Chain A
Amino acid sequence: MPDLPRQIRLAAGDYYMHAQDHKRRRAGLPGYICRVALRLEDGLDVDRLRWRVETSPVLDWLARMRLTRPLLVFPAFWRASSRPGPIFFEHNHQDGNGHEPGVLPPEVLERDLHASRGPALAFDLVRHADGTRHLVLSWNHALMDARGAELIWLHLNDGNGGNGAPSLEDLIHPKQRGGSLAEWWRNAKLARGSVEWLRKSGSEPLFSLLPEKRTAGPHRNQYRIVTFSAEETARIAARCERLNAGFRRSHFLLAGTLRALHTVATRRGNRDGAYLIPVAHDTRRRSAKGPIFSNHLSILFFRIEPQQAGSLTSIISELSRQMMDQIRTRFPESCMAALEMFKPLPLNYYMHHLGQPTRSKFATLCFSDSGETCAGMTEMLGGRIRAVDHLVPTWWPPGLTVVFWSFSGRLSVLLSWVDDCLSVSEVDALEQGLRSAVLEEKVS
């Protein structure tokens, strides 16, 4: 592997995620630390795993990266620290087992990873009393996105004894190694469209789950994972086809989520508050092996009026129309150009600018559909993978994030919320409404 750079530019998405991390911490929540947990049967070669983690030049480099801003007048950048710090931890856990999602010890679930202090990623191997294991990769979202984490699993699981290490191009996007001032002017021109669009679509009334007055903390980010059986997943796929949304599975799942949320919102008395939803898209090519490092995303924003939110078919057709309009007007490029342009701003100004169009509400919920996760992986260094779980904290605001993914022919969904934004009975209603929206034929 060639020499890895010691200093590198931030991608626009990195600074955005760093700002989300900052916002969460300011609201008294843990940082924006994502986790992917593999539930493993017995058979994992722990010595090989430990050796791979400790000797991988890619992981060593990632563990050294620190988000740095020595002076406020200069933009933040990534710099390699001379001390990577430990990233592999082992635990023996008596209470849980590898058959259930989310049964992880607090030292794993509450591990704090700071992009500035580093290391911004960690592996936790949890041995349960029954011989099953959880292998958890946790990372600060400023360091990389979920696809980057998936590529790390593939790198660790590579059967070539480390010879299959990613190339420099697979680790870092070439654009991040260069950069010019002329780009800033190009971005300024391109960004105008998205800023105007957001101002228009963020107009009041907007439905928000945030309490009008925050109750005394501490507040917690709660997680609930709902897994559909293989039979249910097949039914969902068939229903998606019948609604002519086979290629627009994300729209179908978002429509189901919105329909369920609309029920909760109506119970809260929402009459005219629209639902605003940012949806991030991975900009890498399918089956590309990189880049691992940084956030490579573009964003689409959807606004659904409450009059449309009662019917799956009308939500799907509205989402398709808005997506077509946004891509036609190059909204995703414009949005990323805006983020690139605002990147040199100090964090508080940056958040103030981004929050302006929606008067700091940002969105009603965050949504993502990762599609097939860890595609083609059936085992991790000898341990059969029973399931993969994503634990993604929610942005605050809006206080609710919904993430879908599939593994081994089974669809799962994560509901991630802050406890003062939704009550447990509302989350129950959301789960029930979501299940019936995606599964039941009588729900239109």
Chain B
Amino acid sequence: MDSKTIAEQLCQFARKNYVADGADFDENSPLAKAGIDSFALVELLLYCERTFGVSVPDSHLTGKNLASVATLANCIAELSRSSDSSP
């Protein structure tokens, strides 16, 4: 699973659920400005669990990883790769 595909799906989910119609939003938009608060963040993380089978641990919920959809997608792709490679 590559980070670009993940980012596209996350963008779609955010647009459908949080971003107001007509508002500018893409994978590089800051998450905080797109309406992602603590509640929405949890919904986004649960969506990742359901769709990509990846749980994001608390230690990975850093400002850097949550800067935008693209950075979150990178983090998920990396977690997915590391869980695939682990025995």
Contacts and interface: CB of A to CB of B under 8 A. Distances in A.
Contacts of A281: 37, 39
A246 B35 contact: no
A286 B38 contact: no
B38 A249 contact: yes
A45 B13 CA distance: 44
Interface in B40-87: 41-43, 45-46, 58-59, 61-63, 66
B18 A371 contact: no
Contacts, number: 60
A251 interface: yes
A367 to B, nearest CB: 13
Interface majority SS on A: helix, strand, loop or mixed? helix
Q: Size band of the B side of the interface?
A: 20 to 34
Interface in A246-303: 246-251, 281, 285-289, 300
A130 interface: no
B46 A247 contact: no
B46 A323 contact: no
Contacts of B36: 247
A241 B46 CA distance: 22
Contacts of A250: 37-38
Contacts of A288: 20-21
A285 B35 contact: yes
B19 A286 contact: yes
Interface string B1-31: 0000000000000000111110100000001
Given A241-B63, A323-B42, A324-B42, A247 B58 contact: no
* Across the A-B interface, the 4 shortest Cβ-Cβ residue pairs: A286-B35, A288-B20, A248-B38, A287-B20
20 contacts: A241-B63, A244-B61, A244-B62, A246-B62, A247-B31, A248-B38, A248-B41, A250-B37, A285-B17, A285-B18, A285-B19, A285-B20, A286-B19, A286-B34, A286-B35, A286-B37, A289-B20, A320-B42, A320-B58, A323-B39
